[in-house]
């Protein structure tokens, strides 16, 4: 009943049939407000649930950000997996053999941002790749650049949040999910896997997957998964979805089912094949086609559902409410200690939280109808410096 | 395609018909990624728009807050209007003649909170009434307690936001909309109306209405509305929806239509009558029944649609993004000036923003399945002190 455009008709009384008038002779019917378990009994339709549509329209207008990181040694199909997830070439690599770069001598962080639009919903997707991870003779501390990058994004967000004059919507470059590719050894987690996940799961949502699962037999896969789950438990590594953050029994039931199947044994593919007259994404082998989107063939659909179709918003919420808040608390406590106020190093005269050096708040109506732009590839060699943050200016949220 | 529970079948190749195999002999089909205006071309369904459902589910689980204030001299039907809007006795008054309190000698602020649930969506509604406003012989500064109350809510929110350890969801007591009742004089806005709206429209969304519009003829109503619009323009009073905050041409077109009809000429009623065999909310007079929800009779449906069905989320957004941000900027700037740091008066040793005196963050899963409680009536005599803020503890968001 949207009646924002009523016809301007007479306010004179409508023709009321005599019968109705008669019935009313006894007087108006008082409202019956029965007490009940609900705070307030309604005596008619109000329209509160219209807020859901209002929120939907808003999200469709503004779009949203989603940032994902892929970590694992080279050759585990990270780029192909990301391309398969988002059905587009969102990875830094072309995925064509022969065009790959040489393995870098240190861990490099490379981010690429695309705008993906589907059914009117715009997602600004940033995929951060970590070439060089686990590829060296000595891989000690190879997680450091990754931890540094993740914390830098929290720092950025924090510095925007504490500005006096701040943006209407703070640009969000925080990593919402870190997909960790376990090599399909069929044995146990390696010390590097354990070290990495132990450290990273404290600051980011880690989603481990068994890469290139087509190299494992069904039995090997089941056993490997079992061992990994034991390893994670033994080392108290809490991967996503973390038990601690289940919100209600319903969430818990759903997430328990997911946790049983973690890590997903996945196969990626960005080639299409003809199967039963249909085109499907898959890997063609001498013994048949492995259909990656067929849940009878591999667990890629589980990963896709988790990251995109069922838990995308939750990944963002946990990042904001848990990981970012932890960083913020720690940072403000540090800053509070005398002689240890690194946030004071920001430009501006007052204490760090009162810095007013940001550009004027963008006008709300200027953020609309910007052209959709082609992908921007950002390579930030380490040490990652705030100076390179200028790559964000092409899209001001 | 939610496939979180795939059957664990063989990963061996499915039976592929020979024909399909033949067709594939020439090799896999490379993905065609055509360049276009969209940042990224998709070669299949990803499921991005599932985020809309995820957000919807989240809102339905957590509910939302909505705070409304009614201002206007006594006898203009403020309580009845609020009851009519929310189809329940959400106003502080019983709406039964004879049970009303005497007019207070100063402006009193009285808030009452209810939980309204409709189609699974829970709204925590707080209605703040302002008895005594405009009822005195000398009404000078009678807007001060109202401004004070509104700013106190911003202050509260700010103090929660700047805590080091803060709540997962900051309780929102900020006034999202202030409905101002203009008496149906048929003349011009009175100096009190102008003074009030001029001051209040700078800090809150003001929605003026012509109260008890059934006392005006159609011609009187149209003329009065015209004069009020002129008055508002002359005095540069920007009532809700403010032209400055339209986000895009679509918003502008819709809001322009609303602005043409502001202030809505409304009639409230919380009595049901029989009209054409149907029960309708209305006021029965000797010359007929004024159906308040009939847009041919009065503009109550416009007010209801604006406040609830089309702009509720926008009222909250403008409050958060514009009014609260303005308060915050002003407050932090004040606090930055030497010798003028009222926020430093908070308990705690460090600067104001590092206060860590709040209770531990409530566990996420403890916020669920709380019983729905009966309404809580809060009367806060002025000066409104933070001590009385304990009335919020019955519902920890």
Q: In the structure, what pLDDT confidence band is assigned to residue B98 with cuts at 50, 70 and 90?
A: low
- Which positions ≥6 away from A289 have C-beta within 8 Å? A273, A275, A280, A282, A283, B13, B14, B16, B24
d(CA A41, CA B114): 10
A285 touching B, CB under 8 A?
yes
Closest to B385 (Cα-Cα) out of B57, B156, B133 = B156
- Which positions ≥6 away from A72 have C-beta within 8 Å? A78, A130, A133, A134, A180, A181, A182, A183, A211
Q: In the structure, what pLDDT confidence band is assigned to residue B93 with cuts at 50, 70 and 90?
A: low
Q: When comparing pLDDT for B153 and B273, which is higher?
A: B153
B294 touching A, CB under 8 A?
yes
The pLDDT score that the predictor gives to residue A31 is 37
Residue B122 and residue B63 in contact, taking contact as beta carbons nearer than 8 Å: yes
Which alpha helices (DSSP H) does A188-262 contain, by range? 191-200, 218-234, 249-261
Bridging pattern class, strands A121-129 and A64-71: parallel
User: Which residues between 181 and 240 in chain A have a beta carbon less than 8 angstroms from any beta carbon of chain B?
Assistant: 213-214, 217-218, 221
Q: Which of A248, A313, A373 lies at the smallest CB-CB distance from B54?
A: A313
Closest chain B residue to A17, measured at CA:
B276
The pLDDT score that the predictor gives to residue B181 is 97
For B29, the 3-state DSSP assignment is strand
The distance from CA A48 to its chain's CA centroid, rounded to whole angstroms, is 29
The pLDDT score that the predictor gives to residue A39 is 66
Q: Is the pLDDT of residue B228 over 80?
A: yes
Asked which of A31-40, A177-186, B195-204, B258-267 is least confident by mean pLDDT, the reply is A31-40
| CB–CB contacts below 8 A, A to B | 391
The pLDDT score that the predictor gives to residue A274 is 87
Q: Quick check: B288 and A16 CB within 8 A?
A: yes
Q: In the structure, what pLDDT confidence band is assigned to residue B100 with cuts at 50, 70 and 90?
A: low
Q: How far is CA A289 from CA A286, A301, B277, in A?
A: 8, 16, 67
B391 min Cα distance to partner chain A (Å): 16
A28 touching B, CB under 8 A?
yes
The pLDDT score that the predictor gives to residue B8 is 31
Q: What percent of chain B has pLDDT over 90?
A: 57
Q: Is the pLDDT of residue B235 over 50?
A: yes
B276 touching A, CB under 8 A?
yes
Read off the tokens for A108: 């490099």
Most B CBs within 10 A among A17, A22, A23, A40, hence the mutation to make, goes to A40
Element (H, E) at B109: strand B109-118
User: Model ipTM?
Assistant: 0.74
Q: In the structure, what pLDDT confidence band is assigned to residue B369 with cuts at 50, 70 and 90?
A: very low
Q: Is the pLDDT of residue B350 over 90?
A: no
User: Which residues between 332 and 351 in chain B have a beta carbon less than 8 angstroms from any beta carbon of chain A?
Assistant: 332-333, 335-336, 350-351
What's the N-to-C CA distance of chain A in angstroms?
A: 34
Q: Which of B28, B121, B246 lies at the smallest CB-CB distance from A49?
A: B121
Closest chain A residue to B55, measured at CA:
A313
What is the mean pLDDT for each group of 10 consecutive residues in chain A (397 residues)?
34 35 38 42 87 94 96 93 90 55 82 93 95 91 96 97 92 98 94 97 98 92 96 97 93 95 92 87 86 89 96 97 97 76 40 33 36 37 31 28
Q: Quick check: A56 and B59 CB within 8 A?
A: no
Q: In the structure, what pLDDT confidence band is assigned to residue B92 with cuts at 50, 70 and 90?
A: low
Q: Is the pLDDT of residue B172 over 60?
A: yes
The pLDDT score that the predictor gives to residue A2 is 38
Most A CBs within 10 A among B1, B2, B3, B348, hence the mutation to make, goes to B3
Q: Which of A28, A114, A248 lies at the smallest CB-CB distance from B284?
A: A28
pLDDT, tens digit (0-9, with 9 covering 90-100), for B280-336: 888 888 888 889 888 888 999 999 999 999 999 999 999 999 999 999 999 999 887
The pLDDT score that the predictor gives to residue A341 is 45
Q: Quick check: A118 and B271 CB within 8 A?
A: no
A137 min Cα distance to partner chain B (Å): 34
B273 touching A, CB under 8 A?
yes
Closest chain B residue to A9, measured at CA:
B296
pLDDT, tens digit (0-9, with 9 covering 90-100), for B144-164: 999 999 999 999 999 999 999
Give A-chain residues touching B47 at CB under 8 angstroms. 118, 304-305, 308-309
The pLDDT score that the predictor gives to residue B284 is 87
A139 min Cα distance to partner chain B (Å): 34
Give the position of tokens 């496939």: B3
d(CA B379, CA B132): 14
Residue B105 and residue B378 in contact, taking contact as beta carbons nearer than 8 Å: no
The distance from CA B163 to its chain's CA centroid, rounded to whole angstroms, is 25
Give B-chain residues touching A51 at CB under 8 angstroms. 59, 64, 121, 123, 312-313
d(CA A230, CA A224): 10
- All structural domains of chain A: 48-92+104-264+307-334 (3.40.50.300)
B34 touching A, CB under 8 A?
no
B359 min Cα distance to partner chain A (Å): 14
Asked which of B86-90, B109-113, B187-191, B299-303 is least confident by mean pLDDT, the reply is B86-90
Task: State the average pLDDT for chain B.
Answer: 78
The pLDDT score that the predictor gives to residue B190 is 95
């Amino acid at each position: 009943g949207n009646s924002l455009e009523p016809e301007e008709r007479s306010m004179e009384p409508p023709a009321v049939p005599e019968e109705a008038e008669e019935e009313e002779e006894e007087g108006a019917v008082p409202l019956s407000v029965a007490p009940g378990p609900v705070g307030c009994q309604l005596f008619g339709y109000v329209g509160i649930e219209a807020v859901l549509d209002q929120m939907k329209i808003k999200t469709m207008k503004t779009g949203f950000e989603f940032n994902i990181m892929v970590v694992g040694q080279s050759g585990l199909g990270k780029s192909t997996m990301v391309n398969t997830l988002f059905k587009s070439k969102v990875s830094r690599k072309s995925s064509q053999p022969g065009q790959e770069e040489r393995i870098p001598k240190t861990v490099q962080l490379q981010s690429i941002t695309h705008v993906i639009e589907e059914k009117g919903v715009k997602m600004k997707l940033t995929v951060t790749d970590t070439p060089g991870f686990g590829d060296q003779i000595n891989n000690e501390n190879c997680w450091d650049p990754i931890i540094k990058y993740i914390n830098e994004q929290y720092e950025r967000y924090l510095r925007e949040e504490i500005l006096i004059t701040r943006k209407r919507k703070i640009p969000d470059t925080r990593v919402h999910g870190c997909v960790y590719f376990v090599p399909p050894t069929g044995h146990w987690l390696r010390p590097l896997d354990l070290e990495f996940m132990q450290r990273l799961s404290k600051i980011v949502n880690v989603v481990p997957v068994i890469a290139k699962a087509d190299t494992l037999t069904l039995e090997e896969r089941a056993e490997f998964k079992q061992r990994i789950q034991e390893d994670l438990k033994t080392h108290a590594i809490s991967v996503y979805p973390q038990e601690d953050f289940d919100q209600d029994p319903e969430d818990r039931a759903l997430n328990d089912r997911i946790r049983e199947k973690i890590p997903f044994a996945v196969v990626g593919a960005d080639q299409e094949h003809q199967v039963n007259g249909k085109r499907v994404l898959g890997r063609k082998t001498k013994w048949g086609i492995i259909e990656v989107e067929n849940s009878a063939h591999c667990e890629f659909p589980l990963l896709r559902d988790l990251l995109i179709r069922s838990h995308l918003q939750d990944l963002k919420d946990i990042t904001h409410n848990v990981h970012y808040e932890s960083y913020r608390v720690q940072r403000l406590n540090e800053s509070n200690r005398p002689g240890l106020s690194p946030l004071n190093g920001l430009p501006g005269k007052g204490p760090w939280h009162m810095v007013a050096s940001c550009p004027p708040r963008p006008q709300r109506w200027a953020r609309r109808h910007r052209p959709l732009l082609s992908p921007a590839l950002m390579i930030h060699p380490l040490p990652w410096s705030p100076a390179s943050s200028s790559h964000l200016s092409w899209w001001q949220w």
